[in-house]
Amino acid sequence: MNTRDLEYFVQLAESKSFTEVAQHFHVSQPTITYAIKRLEEKFGTTLVEKTTANRVDHLTQTGHILAGHARQIMQDLSKLEKAMEHARLGKIEVGFPPIIMNEFFEHCPSAPKNLNFLRQFHLICGGSQELRKRLLEGDLDFSLLGSLRPLNLEQVITVPLYRRELVLLVSKEHSLAQQREVAFQDLLSEDFILLDEHNIHLTAFDALNKRNGGRAKVATQLDNLPLIKKMVAENLGVTILTASALSKLEKDLVAIPFVPQEKIYFHVAYAYSPELYLTEELKEFMALLDTMKE
| pTM, two decimal places | 0.72
Quote the CA–CA distance of 236 and 217 in Å, as a whole number: 13
Q: How far apart are alpha carbons 251 and 237 in whole angstroms?
A: 17
Structural fold of domain 3-81: Arc Repressor Mutant, subunit A (1.10.10)
pLDDT at 281: 86
pLDDT digits (tens, 9 = 90+) for 276-289: 889 888 898 898 89
Q: How far is CA 169 from CA 48, 160, 213, 237, in A?
A: 57, 26, 22, 9
Residues of the chain with CATH 3.40.190.10: 89-162+267-290, 164-265
Cα separation, 273 vs 86, in Å, equals 13
What CATH code would you report for 89-162+267-290?
3.40.190.10
Any long-range contacts for 19-27 (C-beta under 8 Å, 24+ apart)? 19/54
Q: Is the pLDDT of residue 42 over 80?
A: yes
Which residues, other chains included, contact 27 with Cβ-Cβ below 8 Å and sequence gap of 6+?
none
Residue 144 vs residues 99, 124, 147, 250, 270: alpha-carbon distances, Å: 10, 10, 10, 24, 4
pLDDT attached to residue 239: 97
> Where do you find CATH 1.10.10.10 in the chain?
3-81
pLDDT digits (tens, 9 = 90+) for 237-294: 999 999 888 877 788 999 999 999 999 999 999 999 888 889 888 898 898 899 888 8
One-letter amino acid for residue 255 of the chain? A
Q: Which residue has the higher pLDDT, 82 or 223?
A: 223
The CATH code of domain 164-265 reads: 3.40.190.10
Helix (H, G, I), strand (E, B) or coil at 59: strand
